[in-house]
Structure 1
Amino acid sequence: MNTDENNKIGIVIPIFNVEYYLECCIKSVINQTFSNYELLLINDGSNDKSFEIAKYYVSKYTNIKLINKDNKGVSHTRNIGIEYYLNNKILYQNTIIENNMCKTNITYKNEPMVLYSSVNTNKYPENINYIIFLDSDDFWEKNILERCIKNINNNDLVWYDYNVDYTEFKPEINYQTIFQFYNINKTITLTKNEIVELLIQTKNILFWFGWHGMIKLELFKDTNLRFIEGIIHEDHYFGLVLFSKINSVVILYEKLYNYRVRINSVCNHSKTPKLQNILPKKLLKIIDYFDNDINEIYNYYKTYSYCVTYKKLKEYFNKHNYILKNRYLPSYYNIAINLFNHNNDPLIGYNCFDFNDIKIKLNNINKLLNNKEQIINNNKLNYSNLEKKYENEIIKNNVLQEENNYLNININSLNKTIQQKNAEILFIKKYGTVRNKIKSHLAYMVGKTLIKNSNNIFDLALMPIKLLVIYLTYIQIKKINKNNNLPISKYPNAYKIEKIKNTFTYNIGLYYINLTKKYTFVGALFLFPFLINKFKKSHYGTN
């Protein structure tokens, strides 16, 4: 087994709800032919058995450590790994011995966490030269570390290829690796200028790098290069900025990493209470905006992530005048601008765009509208060749007229769409959405409070106070919105009102309000638990 005392590798594995894959992942590290490494497992608030599995391996191996923290996403988790190996920004506090392990309280950016390590090892990282990332549902070939150490020499990073594992799920079309996208078919060392040439010449419009190689740790000491937190596809910004900073890279044309394609557990779950076990905390806060539609949530979150990536790349490219700005920035802009196709933007992705970004989009539309005459003339020129083919003037004129009519219809349709979208934006700015309008109804607010606070005796005891607060809040909302008396039927998507009014939340609130009119506020509260079954039977036919 190769140890190479002069080169030590720091490995970071972020963990989130991967109990069925984690052991395979960790064992692929333990079984490496190169042993001079330290493995840092970081549990990102898992609520399955992942944390217990990780603790087991810490108790068995002196070179494995574990950080346990609240869920903040894979970027936040990887950034902690970087800071840990740099021995930077992590504050160590008291340590106790628990279950034959050292348990140390630590903080990162004022966030409390716990570091678990063997009693026979130093809790601090020691002499780390390189850093490498491994996702917890993937696994390595047993010689990946040895091959990286053997080939890196004095270069900044090793970039290797990977296998795609379809054991669990086989899509209709096989995935291409990034080496295939960039037409890489040999092992080679590239200088800075050759790296730029490779990235410019390829036809692929995007670039990403995260778990795809081993990186010299020094690159993180002198720069603020980190993963963008709070998004997915975080390896796009990281990869482009990383490759702008390196002086040389070893492209290792060997498949050393195994990327596991697995069925998206989020997409395979219906709208059930298990959502909190599936979605990251960041997305749990926005599910109401998308009626708990998991696919719609993730499509929005993906677009939002590209918005943030576009903004950060634009800031970086403008500051450093990076040569690849014109090569990649338009591609990320074209994806990010799709944000405006979503009905909701609860994470405020539009803040990623400035006036010039929006102006580009509008200019493209205006060019299409303003060039109507030129488009028609170009088509006339194209059809002039028909004169040679068709001597009958009537046929030629009919063809031209049909094409002109088609263009007029399309342009008129585009004009109407733009006007409609502008009208909807102005309407929402002035009156808000129909969903927010109905949710400010007293019946909905009361129903939500009754359901939320009916789980235990303590909440029931506080119910009168909470209902009083809801009523006072409703009075305040009515005062604020006294000038907004627009009927709901005038709102865009007004049909959604019936869907919300048919919900259990709205109807139970309305039922309670009617009880107060008949029995007074106190009487309704007392009778409500006894009349709830009568309500269910009359409204839903159930007990």
Structure 2
Amino acid sequence: MFVDSDDYWVEDCLLECMKVSDGVDVVWFDSQIIHNNNFIYEGYNGSDNATSMERYVQGGLPSDTIITAMQWIDVASTHKLTFAFAWQGMIDFAFLRHKELMFFDNVQWEDVFFGIMLFSQVSKVYVLSKKLYCYCINPQSTSRYNKDIQKSDLPLCMQSLCDVFSSAYEAKEYYKFQGIVRAALAFGAFLQTHKYEPVMKQVKAYYFVGIVGWALGLLPAKDPWRVCEQFGILAPYIVDVNLGKLSAFKKLCITYPVFLPLLRGIMRCYNWIKCTLAIKGVVS
């Protein structure tokens, strides 16, 4: 089990997990979010405050019972749900060692890649709907979303990028970008070794495509670490998938990264036009 240094488990967390851990690879439990010592997001109320597990259960995933990897990916892909897993449960250590799973180094959102690779290989997961983990919102966290940050707010691994970019936020976004590209390369290779498994086909069609799109959406104006050159390695992994709007052109740019700046310009123009029309009420 994992716990972040600024979070904590409820008192009976381990006991509750042990009650349902026999014969399963993972016990997946729910969480509650704490902000300024006050509990928020304690239950699903039809708003965006639902936890990840609550969204899955609302999508039809059974709770307080055992599920399979196929049930998980069916609900995820049908309802377009995101997924991450690190501190959200208990993992059979023998299973973890057998699969040789580990977190990627120097990558933000490492729980996304770890979680998807973990759940795509499980045989049995117990979905425990109890909120056993207390996630504390920390303004100093590297995963915070606001743009009002300074160089001193960044971890040392990101601070050197501030000399290249005009703001700490852009430096952080570039670090996020390079990590997603590196993880996508490893994830693509992982999927290639399991390409004949039905679960992996769905994982690739939904989550891998989403991760590639995520990376393309973060294409930077400056590339001091020459990360874009690595996109060509992704080319064999995307031949049989649909990358959404401009799919053929995106595949061309991934295969020949020299065209990526052009793709970045087109995507920025498209997003600007879409945002402008939405503000004027032309599109929803």
TM-score, length of structure 1 as denominator length: 0.39
Question: How much does 1:331 deviate?
Answer: 1.0
Contact 1:225 1:242 in 2 (8 A): yes
Alpha-carbon displacement from aligned partner over 1:419-446 (angstroms, at most 9, x marks no partner): 9969xxxxxxxxxxxxxxxxxxxxxxxx
Partner Cα distance (2:6, 2:217) in 1 = 30
Question: How much does 1:167 deviate?
Answer: 2.0
Confirm whether residue 186 of structure 1 aligns to residue 63 of structure 2.
yes
Contact 2:33 2:39 in 1 (8 A): no
* Partner of residue 27, structure 2: 158
Change (3 A) 1:308 1:168: farther
Alpha-carbon displacement from aligned partner over 1:21-57 (angstroms, at most 9, x marks no partner): xxxxxxxxxxxxxxxxxxxxxxxxxxxxxxxxxxxxx
Confirm whether residue 331 of structure 1 aligns to residue 207 of structure 2.
no
* Partner of residue 51, structure 2: 177
| Sequence identity (%) | 24
Change (3 A) 1:142 1:344: same
* Partner of residue 211, structure 1: 87
Contact 2:250 2:263 in 1 (8 A): no
Change (3 A) 1:284 1:420: closer
Partner Cα distance (1:251, 1:135) in 2 = 21
* Partner of residue 438, structure 1: none
| Pairing partner for 1:282 from 150, 157, 160 | 157
Contact 2:178 2:227 in 1 (8 A): yes
Question: How much does 1:319 deviate?
Answer: 1.6
* Partner of residue 137, structure 1: 6
For the pair shown, the structure with the greater C-alpha radius of gyration is: 1
| Pairing partner for 2:180 from 306, 311, 319 | 306
* Partner of residue 168, structure 2: 294
* Partner of residue 125, structure 2: 249
Question: How much does 1:260 deviate?
Answer: 1.1
SS at match of 1:251: strand
Alpha-carbon displacement from aligned partner over 1:323-357 (angstroms, at most 9, x marks no partner): 221121111111111243x2222333214411738
* Partner of residue 282, structure 2: none
Change (3 A) 1:147 1:246: same
Question: How much does 1:141 deviate?
Answer: 0.7
Change (3 A) 1:306 1:170: farther
Q: Counterpart amino acid of 2:29?
A: Y
| 1:398-437 superposed matches below 5 A | 418=262
Question: How much does 1:198 deviate?
Answer: 3.5
Change (3 A) 1:344 1:143: same
Which ranges of structure 1 fall in alignment gaps of 5 or more residues?
A: 1-131, 368-416, 423-543
Q: Counterpart amino acid of 2:32?
A: N
Partner Cα distance (2:263, 2:117) in 1 = 40
| 1:224-239 superposed matches below 5 A | 224-239=100-115
| Pairing partner for 1:353 from 223, 227, 231 | 231
* Partner of residue 319, structure 1: 193
| 1:530-541 superposed matches below 5 A | none
* Partner of residue 36, structure 2: 167
* Partner of residue 248, structure 2: 363
TM-score, length of structure 2 as denominator length: 0.71
* Partner of residue 258, structure 1: 134
Alpha-carbon displacement from aligned partner over 1:124-173 (angstroms, at most 9, x marks no partner): xxxxxxxx0000111111010000001111111100000011226999x8
| 1:263-274 superposed matches below 5 A | 263-264=139-140, 270=150
Q: Counterpart amino acid of 1:308?
A: R
